[in-house]
Amino acid sequence: MFDDFQLNDDKPYYLQVKDYLKEIILKGMIQADTRLPSTRELSKMLKVSRNTIIEAYNYLEDEGFIYQKKAKGYFVSKIQNTQKTVFNIEWREKLTKLATLADKIDITKSEPKWEKGMISFKSISPDPNLFDVDELKRAFLNRISLEEGKILNYGYARGYKPLIDEIKKYLKLKGINLKGKDVIITNGYTEALNLVLGAVCNDKDEILCENPTHNTAINAMRLKGLNLIPVDIEEWGLNLEILEDRIKNNNPKLLYLTPSYHNPTGVVFSPENRLKILEIAKKYKLPILEDGFNEELRYYSSHILPLAALDDGNSIIYISSFSKVLFPGLRIGWILADEVLIDYIESLKRSLNIHTSFLDQAILFEYLNGGNLEKYINKVKRIYRDKFEWALECVKKYIPHKRILGEGGLHLFLELNSASARDVLKECLKQGVIFTPGEVFYIDDKGENTLRLGISRVTNEEIERGFKIIGDVVKKLEGLK
């Protein structure tokens, strides 16, 4: 015994000795009430100082693994570790439909994964090399000095008050009238969406969605048991005729829209289109769930008001996060909506996870309050726009296509002439290039010839090389080569 002990540099030595002895005791290798070696003896055996052993024994006693007898030394406590049962369950048979469906529609599991050496156009997350890590450090240190332990304890379901106020200011500067509205902080955009759906959509309810739309949104809606009704996206925004037709022929609870740098198409709804959507929604009393996705990444033209800024009533629920530009790893999003609705959503949020990390909220508040977001966006917009323009050039040069959609953002959406994007992906994968086939963004079975090319995490050189490979595969499949 004691001859397989090995020290490493991870933890203090006394904790390593403690854990080592704990394992021996838990395995039942020393019987209860057996006397342990004296601290002097064990110190020699394990080749650590006597103080290390004394401290380890103290901890073990404190954790109830050993006990002391006056003048007789330390003994092993009675740990009931011998009479184990073996009881197995076939969990696959116990799963809910929800869990089975979640697994089935999880594209992270089913789509090809990035491996070393590949060029991946799957990601539309920001380039982490552009983050202001120093400013974030400063924000953390400032906030923790001010708040100390308080910020590490339980907080409120509604969120960290200074951050809520900061986000309200930010929304006001988008032109949104905040009267009668309130904000709740969520675990990113995805939780915001789930909370809204939980508050206003029942199983089997109908919801109108742009088609195609964000795959995360599609999955969240499907998992809520909703009936998704597609409305086509055009180059200028939502197809209004189809919208009105779908409203008349169905009984939708909500209209879900991503009017700026729409995911996956990159389309920006025109100001006129936005106004008309609002008029139609008002006419049919259909509330709107607006997704503020990527509004910050406007590269060209004048500022365009979000739908939430074009209506002075309470009918628009606006959800967003900074995650497409800033620190998505922090998982902070929000819901702006009628204050009555927010009050109910607060209880839902509390029941699900009490609240969003107060440390993260405090850091983000401090970062925003220092004006860092503006500086950061100002910087990255130029970089992303240059990359976007380069990618556009490369697509035009290398990939035969019917249509390129979108005016910006961190991705391009391509419609091919005839090749199936799935077939293209299959061939590209062999050559180490992956992307997201457009069909995963469609509610119906459209989109076979479309693909989304995320460009934020690849270099210009990789864009050219990768697009060339995609283009060659397309040409081959379409008989052009």
Please state, in angstroms and rounded to a whole number, the distance separating the CA atoms of residues 313 and 309. 10
Q: Are 480 and 400 in contact (CB under 8 A)?
A: yes
Nearest-angstrom CA–CA distance, 76 and 42: 15
Q: Which of 413, 450, 434 is nearest to 122 (CA)?
A: 434
DSSP state of 37: P
> Residue 130 in contact with residue 380, Cβ under 8 Å?
yes
Residue with token string 């090389």: 465
Least separation in angstroms between residue 405's CB and a second copy is: 21
CB of 44 to a second copy, least distance (A): 24
Comparing CB distances to a second copy, the nearer of 275 and 392 is 275
Neighbouring C-alpha atoms within 13 Å toward the C-beta of 167:
29
* CB closer to a second copy, 253 vs 401: 253
Looking at the Cβ atoms of 253 and 387, the one nearer to a second copy is: 253
Between CA 333 and CA 327 the distance in angstroms is 11
Cβ-based nearer residue to a second copy, 73 or 472: 73
In the complex, the smallest distance separating the C-beta of residue 191 from a second copy, rounded to whole angstroms, is 4
The string of DSSP letters for 255-280 reads: EEE--SS-TTT-----HHHHHHHHHH
Residue 1 CB, nearest approach to a second copy (Å): 18
228-239 burial string, b = 16+ CB within 10 Å, else e? bbbbebeeebbb
For residue 294 the two structure tokens come to 């990527």
Tokens describing residue 146: 């001010």
Rg (CA), the chain: 28
CB of residue 116 to a second copy, shortest distance in Å: 15
Nearer of residues 261 and 467 to a second copy, judged by Cβ: 261
Kind and range of the H or E run holding 175? none
Q: Which residues, in sequence order, are CB contacts of 4 under 8 Å at separation 6+?
A: none
Q: Which is nearer to a second copy, 140 or 478 (CB)?
A: 140
The CB-of-50 to a second copy minimum distance in angstroms stands at: 19
In terms of CB distance, is 311 or 439 closer to a second copy? 311
Q: Select 39 or 194, whichever has its Cβ closest to a second copy.
A: 194
- Minimal distance in Å, beta carbon 341 to a second copy? 4
Residue 168 has φ and ψ, to the nearest 5°, of -65, -45
Q: Distance between CA atoms of 159 and 47, rounded to whole angstroms?
A: 51
> How many CB atoms are located within 10 Å of the residue 272 CB?
11
Output 224 or 401, the one with its CB closest to a second copy. Answer: 224
Residue 178 CB, shortest distance to a second copy, in Å, is 12
33 within 8 A of 76, measured Cβ to Cβ = yes
Task: Quote the least distance from Cβ 366 to a second copy, whole Å.
Answer: 11
Amino acid (one-letter) located at 465: R
Q: Which is nearer to a second copy, 191 or 291 (CB)?
A: 191
82 secondary structure, DSSP code: S
Distance of alpha carbon 345 from alpha carbon 157, whole angstroms: 9
Nearest approach, Cβ of 343 to a second copy (angstroms)? 7
CB of 396 to a second copy, least distance (A): 26
Record the tokens describing residue 420, joined without a space. 């199936």
C-beta closer to a second copy: residue 274 or 411: 274
Smallest distance, Å, CB 137 to a second copy?
A: 6
For residue 177 the two structure tokens come to 């009238």
Q: Which is nearer to a second copy, 133 or 383 (CB)?
A: 133
Q: What would you measure as the largest C-alpha separation in the chain, in angstroms? A: 91
Cis check: omega of the bond before 271, within 30 degrees of 0: no
266 burial via Cβ count (<10 Å: 0-12, 13-18, 19+): buried
